[in-house]
Amino acid sequence: MRGLDVAQLSAALLAACTPWFVASIALRVATTHAAAPAPHLHSMKLLRAITVGAAIAASIATVILAPSLWMLLIVGLGFGGAALVALRVLGEIDDLTRPARRVGSAERAASLRPRKPGEYLPWSWRLAAAGTAVLGATAFVVRASSVVSGRRIFMPIVFAAAALVFLWLYEVWAHQVITGPIVAGDAGNLRRVVRRIFAMELLLVVACLGTAHALLNLDWAANGTLGAAIELAGGVVAVAGCALAVASGLVGRRYETAGR
């Protein structure tokens, strides 16, 4: 099997399994933060079945030489079907873990001084992450502007763009955690949560940009297997980042609405 075929197979399998990975990680994160047992989800069985079917279809499709638009169509259909079920799974996770995330205490915590991001995460750290993303993306654009024969540009561009998207998503997440309402007793954990979000943000930016640069001018004829391994590793990190970003709306305790 050629290096390009290995890369096509690994990318197809990862794409087919991504909805299941995202739903599974979101379920684990939501139940952990809600301190609730993992609920039994009927739609998770359907998602597993569709994922297995999509993975089998992707494996069978390896008879199509890479790169192939037919392979893209097959994987796209499998991903689309699994993604629709995964959205249903996420809805069930939200519904079933919401009671454990709601606090019914009549006692409320309030502060007259608004919380600021700089109190929980040094501005120098945030600027370093943003600077890494900007410099890495700029260097990628400069390298991509040069003419190189036989270059495969699509996946490097996807990973470079993903780095900037993750930077924005995780900055928004951290800001919401810092400035949003919190339950009395949870304030002490706020700094730890914010720094974990930042650590994942930095990892995603570095991993995605590193993957983009590594794949940009790769000689697939000579180093196809290495390229497939790099692409797969970067894809797994990106999928985990997507799952955690999706799970951000499923974590965090909140007070019940007054009068309910």
Mean pLDDT, each 10-residue run in order, the chain (260 residues): 66 81 84 66 78 74 62 73 84 76 55 65 86 94 81 86 92 80 61 86 94 88 82 90 83 55
pLDDT in the model for residue 131: 93
Long-range contacts, stretch 158-161, CB < 8 angstroms, 24+ apart = 158/212, 159/208, 159/209, 159/211, 159/212, 159/215, 159/234, 159/238, 160/136, 160/208, 160/209, 160/212
pLDDT in the model for residue 125: 85
Q: Which residue has the tokens 């079945």?
A: 49
pLDDT in the model for residue 212: 94
pLDDT in the model for residue 31: 78
pLDDT in the model for residue 37: 62
